[in-house]
A and B are shown apart, each in its own frame.
Chain A
Amino acid sequence: MDILFNPAVRIIVRLALGGILVYASWHKITDPPDFAKIIFNYKMFPASTINLLAIYVPWIELIAGFAIISGIGSRGASFLAGGMFIFFICALSYNLSRECPTICGCFSTFEDGKSLTPEQKFDEMRKEIWIDVGCLLLAAHVFFGSIVAARSVFADKEGAAGESSAAA
């Protein structure tokens, strides 16, 4: 447990996860119509929600990414990021189960993926699920790591307070 939540390990995981989120958000923020097309191609969202998701979801990714990298608000950011990854995993799994080939769009644009055959899309979806599982584990590490860090700071403070009152 000490090794798992070692400060150096926590920093590396935070930088990795935050970097992934920032990288994944960039093409969606610069091209909202393309991301709207990706959301539409999932065939899971009512028409009235597609544009709103295309506008706001990339910003959740970007802000959460920076929060995780900086360490400011990383607990909330990793909780949100974890929720998003769970959603992506469920969405891709659902589309795999109903044989609906989908351009994932997590790290690529719709234009990149539209020339793929359905079988290639299914392969990409399976790969993407594994990537999202890995990212979910990173998010969990950041989340629980922040709790462990907060507790150890609290325990240190209590210990210091106890020593100073004993000395007094």
Chain B
Amino acid sequence: MKQLILQLVAIIGLTLLAGTASNLVGRRDTQAADGTATKEWHFSSKGARLEFFVKESRYPNALICMMSQKKNPLPVNPEAPKDPPNGGEPEVVDATQNPGGTQNGAVDPGKQTQNPEPEDPNKVPHIGFEAAVQHWEDGLLFVDARGPKYYAEGHIPGAISIPAWEPGIEEKVQQLAETEGTAAPIVVYCNESTECEDSHIVASQMKSFDFQELTVYEGGFPGWRRDWKKKNKTEKDSEIPITTGPEAGPRGPEQ
């Protein structure tokens, strides 16, 4: 028993040492002066591959499984109106009538579900392709929540990169708040999914810095690429608005 405890203590001790050291010392992706991706050695808590301690708002809905909630909805509210045609899916709104969106204004009150979720004032509304194109043409700022590698491979022109899963997200959001102001309407996107969790992680950070006008583009970059090709009836990336490389590029259709 004594031997077992000693061995457990030794393994856990080594783990703490090795884990801490590996997180602080490592090679980090950076950009060379000519813009090419490169790696450099670092040793600092600021350059840590993952922050050791994070606030609860860093990962919103960490204990809520959206897919599970949809299959096991809340008990029926007898006062609520009847089922919508989409079976209670999160409402995707064409916000062209309401550019920038609001925290609560994206849901059509005429299409409430039979099992309505309690209204969450912090919920960031989702928008579809048409609304995203309208916002892009209006010159709104887009934020790309994907990893740096995917951003460099292609992103919406003018979108800046704030990866949801890389360290330094707070500093980037703070910088954005200083340059754009927290009243600026912003569209966040990631990869295509109904939950858009990466976008919501970035949006949650932005909310903690008092950004007000946030929306999430549900199609993400894959949807942007696919729907633009459909719209322009083309298969070529060169004929749709996409920017590659580490720079954001100019916003809007004037390129």
Contact = CB atoms under 8 A, between A and B. Distances in A.
Which applies to chain B's interface (DSSP): helix, strand, loop or mixed? helix
B59 interface: yes
Interface residues of B, number: 44
A59 interface: yes
A159 interface: no
Contact of A76 (B7, B64, B167): B7
A15 interface: no
A167 B212 CA distance: 90
Interface string A28-47: 01001110110010011111
Contact of A51 (B4, B54, B60, B61): B54
A51 B8 CA distance: 22
Contact of B8 (A55, A80, A100): A80
A106 interface: no
A77 interface: yes
Contacts of B38: none
A134 interface: no
Contacts, number: 113
Interface string B36-74: 000000000000011111111111111111011001100
A150 B32 CA distance: 57
Contact of B19 (A36, A55, A76): A55
A118 B155 CA distance: 27
Given A29-B22, A50-B59, A100-B68, A75 B50 contact: no
A99 B59 CA distance: 21
Given A45-B62, A46-B62, A75-B3, A64 B67 contact: no
Interface residues of A, number: 39
Interface in A81-104: 95, 98-101
Given A33-B165, A46-B63, A67 B11 contact: yes
Interface in A131-155: none
Among B15, B22, B53, B167, the most chain A Cβ lie within 10 Å of the Cβ of B15
A51 B215 CA distance: 26
A86 B197 CA distance: 28
Interface string A87-130: 00000000100111100000000000010001000000000000
Contacts of A114: 191
Contacts of B23: 32, 55
Interface string B219-241: 00000000000000000000000
A47 B18 contact: no
Nearest to B8: A76
Contacts of A32: 23, 49-50
A52 interface: yes
Contacts of A164: none
A76 B11 contact: yes
B253 to A, nearest CB: 31
A84 to B, nearest CB: 12
A48 interface: yes
A71 to B, nearest CB: 12
A106 B67 CA distance: 21
A84 B68 CA distance: 25
B11 A63 contact: yes
Contact of A47 (B6, B58, B165): B58
A33 B166 contact: yes
A60 B11 contact: yes
A73 B10 contact: yes
A79 interface: yes
19 contacts: A32-B50, A33-B167, A36-B50, A43-B61, A46-B56, A47-B62, A48-B53, A55-B22, A55-B23, A58-B19, A59-B18, A76-B7, A76-B10, A76-B11, A79-B4, A98-B65, A98-B72, A99-B72, A100-B67
Given A45-B62, A118-B67, 8 more contacts: A32-B50, A33-B147, A43-B62, A51-B50, A58-B19, A62-B18, A75-B7, A101-B67
